Structure 1
């Protein structure tokens, strides 16, 4: 009998844990499941609802776990299945939900299925990956590119065919046109649902299907005055991903999740139509929620945020977004938006309050609640294949993935060994112990804002009405709550349509009769009496 997930996910706040970098329990320099379990009380005390674990499955780690060689076992570097079960039980005891990454668009080339598939053209899994013959001149059949550089096709001498890979050559793409592949993927999801997970974050959710006609992607239609860091961005990816067949597959996933009351979030990666796909993918009977890279850029203006939120809810009134400002693939938000900062802490607190005020669900990236910035790394310190391939472009993966900083001791309390990525002085200065209980700290500001969001029905479920305000102020109503954010560095004064009464956290907020003042990077929440909806 099907049972819906209820609405626990709707408006919830998820915290992304990068297992390699959260807490090491055995001194090998790599974070692990027992370490995460030991730190779960911190996350419960922070006030989040859901913990998202990046991949912990068996993997050769060429892409740090996003290249899976066994989908139903834990990699020894992270622990065991028993450790995983303990983590789930502990989280549930603390009132936390747990979702785990599922990287099922592609596998590692060391997965037994790929070993079998590449062995011949007539074995039982010959059609489980995307194989094609070369053109008559020996070149790949399409112009499709890899996100990590170079062509999206690699020649295999065993089959004398090309196989498709959207990422590393060691990450071959599954062929989702084959129903057996879909059935197998659902069995993987069922395995983890039976172990008690509350849902999944689906990596590269718009990459599952390719164009069977093998048509070339057109050139990007935007006027690119200079080549981007990555040539991948010079194409409009109509045929190597974003295919319409994906919608029926998402429906099959949703039907399984409904059996367990589990929830889902999909990662939509696309330059042109991400907001539209977020809506399409979260229509009734598909995924519960989706997020994209739309708010991961360097633009920090009121119009930018307003346009994206309005575009989603106008185009997909029955869909549901998850908004995020950062994750393990992009530079940290304080680093990106530093030109708009009065100072780093003020910007960090403003960004947290802004994100946690948006209509939809929210995802926080590990360490953002400390105001962390990217770590400056030398080429020799890099481990990330994308960072190495595009050096010195600031691709922001290793730089944002450095270990969580718990205290001011060596390596920030993350490990007693040598950390897999270094903990440097600027990051060490922004540690949990120093901010815990400290009035005005970024950490305590996040805690206050998370508690406010949980207590305020308007922030959790209220509709958004944007108000006209002078740049750089973003102003909107969530229910009857007036939310004001100064995204600039200079103070501004706004006239209120009525009398403003402060509620909840604030920064640089001043009230006089009929007037509100916001210092640079200031924010506040008001209820208005004796007038209209807010600003006049």
Structure 2
């Protein structure tokens, strides 16, 4: 039932910034429905929707106050149902975010839990007594800055929050909490979703003894964030998480649905593999391994692929999402040819591939001035933060339209980067050589090739910066050559048929000629 995921291309929609149907400057479900045909026309297999549930929006939807309802900012449950139906009619699977590591402090569960130490939900969140001197229970640090514990005067205890104080951590060790989360899953599965993307899935459980994290002893200078001083041995990636995932997998198997996990860990590839290793774990997982690379080299790809050799699970890969600097800026210096090179590489790798809205247009990371920042992480760490708002600015649909066709309002919740206007979807539609048309062509090639879609990955010897590998399925072999440097290179080439070229790359008699930042995919 989950075979569709093998080699799938999944398109991430960040609803606030995708399309605004009601003219309030914020994207919504109705806007997403209107633009789903764009995703289907790309050739994608599925969409992943970032949170659209009820929320105070302290972390823009990743602080959920009701898992079973749509926030009025985005629409209604009926519109969520309509989106699922429209996506299915277009041949798209629907994956929705589930944020189960933590909830909003406005969730009814937390309101009851914090009321006393002996109510029915007293142990639904992670509570701990102060040390004798009043200090927090341990040294854990929050991802968004400061300690990971906040004092609650009602219970006279600390509660854990790995992110904002308004995002208290659920106690997923508790079987009653697990039951409640599985009920949430059933609610959405019954409405027709095809799977879940599990936010920071390896944060679900913590060390029962609340032991201090040890310091990193190899730091050469102070990092930008307090949590980067520590090895995170006890506040995440605990074995009890896998016990809960086995319960979730059993439920998903009843519906033929899938689970995709987001991994945030100091050993991301190892944990990705561990969390997908078997029929009682996640169907697939992705980490920030490629999302945080500042330069793409053959070693990066070969190391990643080597760690998946012999694995039972399925990897997933992405180059951009709503949390990181967009890859055309981070990896391609905002150059269209290098952007195509990175897209071709992503779509040539073994596993599921994830495109973030605007990747298919080659959007550079947006410049958002400090006074327009909305992201609490960006504000807390300005000016040295990653600037997540720059990945979340409005999607440009119409080059000459108001706000590039995102909204009828004079402005949006985040500003439109003027560099995005000439890259709008309608400006690239049908234009030979555009990033949009290249993306369509590469997805079509992937879908037409069993080797690219689900074949094994075989690394080939080549001098850097040339990355050479084959994808093999049965008798089909696809030779993939990527020149990741600026200087031209040549390589002997067996007889074959050219399937795709990027930049100044061509097949000569017995050789491949690759200009700087170019690629060839050849069926041999």
CA deviation profile, 1:125-176 (whole Å, cap 9, x unmatched): 1110000000011100110000000000000011100000000000000011
SS at match of 2:82: helix
Say whether residues 1:158 and 2:154 are aligned partners.
Answer: yes
CA deviation profile, 1:253-298 (whole Å, cap 9, x unmatched): 1000001000110000012x21111111111111100000000121
How far, CA to CA, are the matches of 1:94 and 1:305 in structure 2? Answer: 33
SS at match of 2:33: helix
* Residue in 2 that maps onto 1:414: 406
* Residue in 2 that maps onto 1:83: 79
Matches within 5 A, 1:153-302: 153-221=149-217, 223-271=218-266, 273-284=267-278, 285-296=280-291, 297-302=293-298
CA deviation profile, 1:412-438 (whole Å, cap 9, x unmatched): 100011210000211212110110000
**TM superposition shift of 1:488:** 1.3
* Residue in 2 that maps onto 1:10: 6
* Residue in 1 that maps onto 2:452: 459
8 Å Cα contact 1:143-1:216 kept in structure 2: yes
CA deviation profile, 1:479-525 (whole Å, cap 9, x unmatched): 111001111122111122x3243123543212221111111111111
* Residue in 1 that maps onto 2:484: 487
8 Å Cα contact 2:506-2:520 kept in structure 1: no
8 Å Cα contact 1:374-1:396 kept in structure 2: no
* Residue in 2 that maps onto 1:436: 429
How far, CA to CA, are the matches of 1:42 and 1:377 in structure 2? Answer: 26
SS at match of 2:48: strand
Deviates more, 1:99-108 or 1:227-236: 227-236
Count matched residues. Answer: 516
* Residue in 1 that maps onto 2:418: 425
TM-score by length of 2: 0.97
How far, CA to CA, are the matches of 1:295 and 1:230 in structure 2? Answer: 21
Matches within 5 A, 1:50-69: 50-69=46-65
* Residue in 2 that maps onto 1:531: none
8 Å Cα contact 2:63-2:102 kept in structure 1: yes
How far, CA to CA, are the matches of 1:212 and 1:527 in structure 2? Answer: 53
Gaps in structure 2 of 5+ consecutive residues: none
SS at match of 2:520: strand
How far, CA to CA, are the matches of 1:389 and 1:6 in structure 2? Answer: 40
8 Å Cα contact 2:29-2:79 kept in structure 1: yes
How far, CA to CA, are the matches of 1:238 and 1:382 in structure 2? Answer: 33
How far, CA to CA, are the matches of 2:51 and 2:501 in structure 1? Answer: 35
CA deviation profile, 1:343-381 (whole Å, cap 9, x unmatched): 610011001000000001111111011111111111111
**TM superposition shift of 1:394:** 3.7
* Regions of 4+ moved over 6 Å: none
How far, CA to CA, are the matches of 1:445 and 1:490 in structure 2? Answer: 23
How far, CA to CA, are the matches of 1:233 and 1:11 in structure 2? Answer: 34
How far, CA to CA, are the matches of 2:342 and 2:224 in structure 1? Answer: 27
How far, CA to CA, are the matches of 1:80 and 1:493 in structure 2? Answer: 57
* Residue in 2 that maps onto 1:534: none
Matches within 5 A, 1:322-337: 322-337=316-331
How far, CA to CA, are the matches of 1:231 and 1:332 in structure 2? Answer: 25
* Residue in 2 that maps onto 1:517: 513
Change (3 A) 1:402 1:312: same
SS at match of 2:314: coil
8 Å Cα contact 2:340-2:502 kept in structure 1: no
**TM superposition shift of 1:389:** 0.3
Gaps in structure 1 of 5+ consecutive residues: 529-536
CA deviation profile, 1:285-316 (whole Å, cap 9, x unmatched): 111000000001213111111101111235xx
SS at match of 1:478: strand
How far, CA to CA, are the matches of 1:109 and 1:452 in structure 2? Answer: 47
SS at match of 2:5: coil
